[in-house]
Chains A and B, each alone.
Chain A
Amino acid sequence: MAAIQWKTAEPGTQRPPDAWWQTLVDDNGVELGGPRIVVYVARSLRTPMVEETARSLVAFLQMKGSPVAVIDPSGNQDRWPDVSWIDLAKTDRLRIDAACLRGGAMVPMLWLEDFQLISITGAGPDQRYGVAAILATQADLLGASSFDDLASIYEAHRLLAADLNIACGTKWADVPTSESWWAASSDDVSLEYAIATAAGVRPEVLPQLRYLARHEIMRSIKTSRESWTLEGHAVEPLTVRATRMRMRLHRLAHMLREDVGLAAANLHRIPQFIERRRPGALSFLKGAS
């Protein structure tokens, strides 16, 4: 059973207390004396609070003497002067066979190495998913086409999931001065599920969780604060459905264009094909008559 740990703080608080980091590390099996810890900071769901939370975590890990590195696709080395910074844009990638993703999943070579991963993301309303949090942030790492967004989410969950996933924000999505919150789990799906629940959405209707449920059995979730609610974090289900329909049509049109292009490029082979098949077809017809 995957547990969710919530933490709230006074409005305007950008960092959780250090004591919470210790609890998270202890409860989620992060080894401070183990392999290097890589902190991944979200790109698309990034807020100042996400960055501050990441800084707080990095400072805590450094204080504990753990080897730390940061993946921050929105930033650069200058933003992280005292920590090893990994530039994913410049690292080679491996093409991993992926049943759901045409052309495979492009995984950074870094994933061949032994390291612990902690992902930090914001959460908020998203017309594609209703509520977006850790799953969309993970999928950003694959850099896949927007036509395959759900497949990317699944493959990123399969291949790139973190040891500890943290989401943070404010109680009211569009009010930065409202109460601060953090939620953490060792399981990315559980965290997405818990945030959706807190945002007042039935997780089963979220497109990303529905897609995942087609491939694996969803685990049960235990949250430390059932009554916690998030306001303004969800898009109306009808809007999500309309957006997904529009995306599906775009995808179909894209595939159609691709297929037509491929078919056109092979038209010249048709006469040769007929020429090759004609003797066989004729002898078959003769035999039949």
Chain B
Amino acid sequence: MSRLRFGVVGCGAVSEIYHVPAIARCAGASLTALADAVPERAAEVARRHHVPVAVSDHRQLFGKVDAAVIATSNTTHADIACQLLEDGIHVLCEKPMATTSADANRMFAAAAHGGARLMAGHSRRFNPNLELAKTLVAGGRIGTLQTIGAALGSPYGSWPTRTDFRRQRTLSGGGVLLDLGIHLIDLALWIGGNAKVLRYEATDTLGWGVENDAEVELELPADARAKLSCSYTHGLNRTVRIRGTGGWIETSIDGAPDIIFWGRDSRLCRRAGAQKIAVAETDPYTRQIQHFVDCLVSNQPFVVTPEQVLNGLEVIERCYAVARAA
């Protein structure tokens, strides 16, 4: 079987550190082109990673690739994706897939029209520890879900960036909620089901015109709750705690090699109490690309569904509406 030809649009930090090596490691994919609005940057990354083609406009990828990863500034995702999808190029789009649910709907419509497929890049779902946590919850191992508590934050600047788009609303489309909070919201939706906003609080401590600290409380099905915190100003513990009527799970959001689990009805914990379960340490970006390729080849649905993507963006829109009203 021939390999899917991949292109990467946007050669920033996340592309060079994660997406480009992940595609290189993925069976069934070959990285054939890079695109970046700064042609020197595209050429430099292409040279470092032995990619044959470097272009300055994503439209130059037409005919050269079968699939593309979009990792540009948030507000540019929708237009770039629509053009690629309309041309029949499958797209894996970095989170947030769009900055509004209307844009996301436009992207899914373009995919349907172009006969291509679109997946949102919620990479944390591919962390084996979070995958196991989801399996344990779905299997009823902690009883009925009651709460999900998660936090993700570090002072801005501790993450390598090439551009400073996160501080410019026109490029970012929002603040820390849209950038980091989307990971937490997606986990809550994935593990708990569709969500509604109960409470949202945010501050623009740094004066960027977008929120730098945010807290959101969601209502999940069966009266469960999710309390999520994210920050650009200070370090948060980067863990997720999931509690049910018959047990709990605690693990890292960043992909730790283990999770701590206690289930009242689980034989494993009956005598020995909570147990630390080790999982394989694998790169989530490689697994994400592999999943994307496998689903394209086998025509299976992606693990990130359009409904979840839209629900996540609606949650963020609702939060921003609450903030505007306040």
* Residues of chain A contacted by B276 (CB below 8 angstroms): 96-97
CA distance in complex: A159, B272 (Å): 6
Please, which residues of chain A bring their CB within 8 A of the CB of B265?
35, 114
CB pair A112 B271 closer than 8 Å:
no
Contacts of A104 in B (CB 8 A): 278
CB-CB contacts of B258-271 with A at 8 A, as 1s and 0s? 10000101111001
Interface size class of A (residues with CB under 8 A): 10 to 19
Interface check B237, CB cutoff 8 A: no
Contact A113/B278 with A97-B258, A158-B271, A159-B272 known, Cβ cut-off 8 Å: no
Is the Cβ of B277 less than 8 Å from the Cβ of A95?
yes
A107 near B268 with CB under 8 A, answer yes
Interface residues on chain B, number (Cβ under 8 Å):
16
Cβ-based interface call for A211 (8 A): no
Name the residue of chain A whose CB is nearest to the CB of B266: A112
Cα of A40 to Cα of B263 in the assembled complex, Å: 22
Give the Cβ gap from B156 to chain A, nearest Cβ, in Å.
31
> What is the chain A residue whose CB lies nearest that of B261?
A112
Cross-chain contact B278 with A112 (CB below 8 angstroms): no
Alpha-carbon separation in the docked complex, A158 to B273 (Å): 10
A80: B residues at CB distance < 8 A: none
Q: How far is it, in angstroms, between the C-alpha of A113 and the C-alpha of B136 when the chains are bound?
A: 10
A94 touches B266 (CB 8 A): no
Chain B residues whose C-beta falls within 8 Å of the C-beta of A97 in the assembled complex: 258, 275-278
On chain A, the residues within 8 Å of B63 by CB distance are none
Measured CA separation A112–B278 after assembly (Å): 14
A112 touching B267, Cβ below 8 Å: yes
Tell me if B266 and A111 are in contact (CB < 8 A): yes
Q: Does A115 contact B (CB under 8 A)?
A: yes
Task: Tell me the dominant secondary structure on chain A's binding face.
Answer: mixed
The yes or no answer to B117 lying at the interface (CB within 8 A) is no
The answer to whether A161 touches B139 (Cβ under 8 A) is: no
Of A95, A96, A112, A159, most buried by chain B (CB within 10 Å of CB) is A112
Contact with A along B272-290 (1 / 0, CB 8 A): 1001111100000000000
Do B278 and A95 touch across chains, with their CB atoms under 8 A apart? yes
A112 touches B272 (CB 8 A): no
Which residues, 192 to 243 on B, are CB-close (under 8 Å) to A? none
Residues in A with CB closer than 8 Å to B268 are: 94, 96, 107, 111-112, 159
Query: Complex Cα distance A115/B270, Å?
Result: 10
A69 in contact (CB, < 8 A): no
Interchain CA distance A96-B278 in the complex, whole Å: 6
Write out, one digit per residue, whether chain A residues 25-36 have a CB within 8 A of any chain B CB (1) or not (0): 000000000010
Flag whether A196 is at the interface (Cβ < 8 A). no
A113–B268 Cα gap in the complex (Å)? 8
Inter-chain CA distance A95–B259, complex, in Å, is 11
Cβ-based interface call for A4 (8 A): no
* B contact residues around A161 at 8 Å (CB): 271
Residue numbers in B under 8 Å from A111 (CB-CB)? 266-268
B122 interfacial by beta-carbon distance below 8 Å: no
Is the C-beta of A191 less than 8 angstroms from some C-beta in chain B? no
Chain B residue numbers with a CB within 8 Å of A95 are 277-279
Query: Is the beta-carbon distance between B277 and A96 smaller than 8 angstroms?
Result: yes
A113 with B266: CB separation less than 8 A = yes
Measured CB to CB, the closest approach of chain B to A100, in angstroms, equals 13
Across the interface, do B275 and A114 meet the contact criterion of CB distance under 8 Å?
no
CA distance A104 to B271 in the complex (A): 18
| A151 shortest CB reach to chain B, Å | 15
Q: Which residues of B contact A113 (CB under 8 A)?
A: 266-267
Of all chain A residues, which has the CB nearest B279?
A95
Cα separation A94 to B133 with both chains bound (whole Å): 13
Q: Write out the residue numbers on chain B whose beta carbons fall within 8 Å of the beta carbon of A112.
A: 136, 139, 141, 263, 266-268
Q: Decide if A153 is an interface residue (CB 8 Å cutoff).
A: no
Interface residues, chain A, CB within 8 Å of chain B?
35, 94-97, 104, 107, 110-115, 117, 158-159, 161
Partner-A contacts on B (CB < 8 A): 136, 139, 141, 258, 263, 265-268, 271-272, 275-279
A sample of 11 cross-chain residue pairs with beta-carbon separation below 8 angstroms, ordered by A number, consists of A96-B276, A97-B277, A97-B278, A111-B267, A112-B141, A113-B266, A113-B267, A114-B265, A114-B267, A117-B267, A159-B268
Report the 9 A-B pairs with minimum CB-CB distance, sorted nearest first: A97-B276, A114-B265, A95-B278, A111-B268, A111-B267, A158-B272, A112-B266, A94-B277, A96-B275
